[in-house]
Amino acid sequence: MDTTILIVDDSPFIVDGLAAILSRKGYTPIPAHGGDECLKILETVKPDLILLDIMMEPVDGWETLEQIKANPATKDVPVLMFSAKKITPAEAQEHSLSIDDFVSKPVNPTQLLESIQRIFSRRNDIKEELHLAEESGIDPAIITEYGTLRKSIEVDRNLLTVLRASAGRDRAGRAPSPEEMTAVRALEDKIALSERRIRELRDLFHKAAPPTGSSG
């Protein structure tokens, strides 16, 4: 089955360029020239991934993302955000649970393809782990929490890299603002807590799993 990727950008030049990159790698691109067209396409098509630009008019990427996630038919479709605009601390905090990754413009083809593959691989890994947890009789709420944490940790790590660069911590000669430093520390703390919790859940899954070689 073809892997479809909906490319959303209000620049036809960028849409065509990304479509060419994805086509060469065996993906089936679906062009959408703006947020409105994206939402219209999603009324009849459910892609495997949405590649969504932030800076668009009249409906920007964050508004489009909110509508995608508010729709039960599309809320589970992974979304990879991309933009020339630096993501702000407020945006990182507000949207980190809704996106599956973030890449900066100008888009590096290798980085983009690695991010897409990472999203699909992570989803498959989580699906397998959750299936084993279900077979072990783990509480569905715990299973849902684990799946959410697995995704959010990777997304938060990527956003942390972006925020650190934006704050100037990776560049000499620029002092980060108090707001930037607070956002970086908050995201570092969030990642640490998530990693601690996911270790606890993995221990729980391990204890609930039947012994290897046991017969039913």
Lowest mean pLDDT among 95-99, 127-131, 168-172: 168-172
Model pLDDT, residue 161:
80
pLDDT score for 216: 45
Write down the pLDDT at residue 90: 73
Q: Which pLDDT score is estimated for 174?
A: 61
End-to-end CA distance of the chain: 36
With a CB cutoff of 8 Å and minimum separation 6, the contacts of 133 are: 142, 143, 146, 205, 208
pLDDT at 165 over 80: no
pLDDT tens-digit profile of 129-160?
Answer: 777 778 878 888 888 888 888 888 888 888 88
| Residue 37 binned pLDDT confidence (cut-offs 50, 70, 90) | very high
Express each pLDDT in 190-200 by its tens digit.
899 999 999 99
Q: The whole model's pTM is what?
A: 0.79
